[in-house]
Amino acid sequence: MPPFHYAFLVRDLDATRAFYGDLIGCPEGRSAPTWVDFDFFGHQISAHLGDPTLNPANVGHVDGQQVPMPHFGAVLGWDTFETLAGRFEEAGRDFVLAPMTRYVGLPAEQRTMFLLDPSGNALEFKAFRHPEHVFEP
């Protein structure tokens, strides 16, 4: 089963690391000054600095891009990602962030895309070129 991905806002990364990492025991993955990933029982969760009580139109920052917060999605196989991206494009769906590749040539190289569902919920779909690196820092 592919790992699930969920991103959410937190007020303090140190407190978040203490809770998810130390208390629950989730290994930490990649991080930046404004976010941290955890291996949440085989699924990828991403805690981003922000105010979780504000409007969902908030944005996080990943690799120089603004991304909608909160959002959820799935980590797919590379070919499945490409097929789904094509289906969205053929259906004329507007993207918040069109399909793109991040971290080219690095172990974490990945394809990603963001769009809104009909209710305005933000979704991210991603695929790792090397799925074994999904949780590596």
What's the longest Cα–Cα distance across the chain? 45
- Domains (ranges, CATH) in the chain? 4-133 (3.10.180.10)
pTM of the model: 0.69
With a CB cutoff of 8 Å and minimum separation 6, the contacts of 69 are 7, 8, 9, 48, 50, 56, 58, 59, 60, 122
Strand segments (E) across the chain:
4-10, 28-32, 35-40, 43-49, 59-62, 65-68, 71-76, 95-102, 110-116, 122-128
User: Per-residue pLDDT for the chain (137 aa), expressed as one digit of tens each?
Assistant: 888 898 888 889 999 999 889 988 889 999 999 999 999 889 998 999 987 666 655 667 777 777 887 788 889 899 999 999 998 999 998 999 999 999 999 999 999 999 888 767 788 989 999 999 888 87
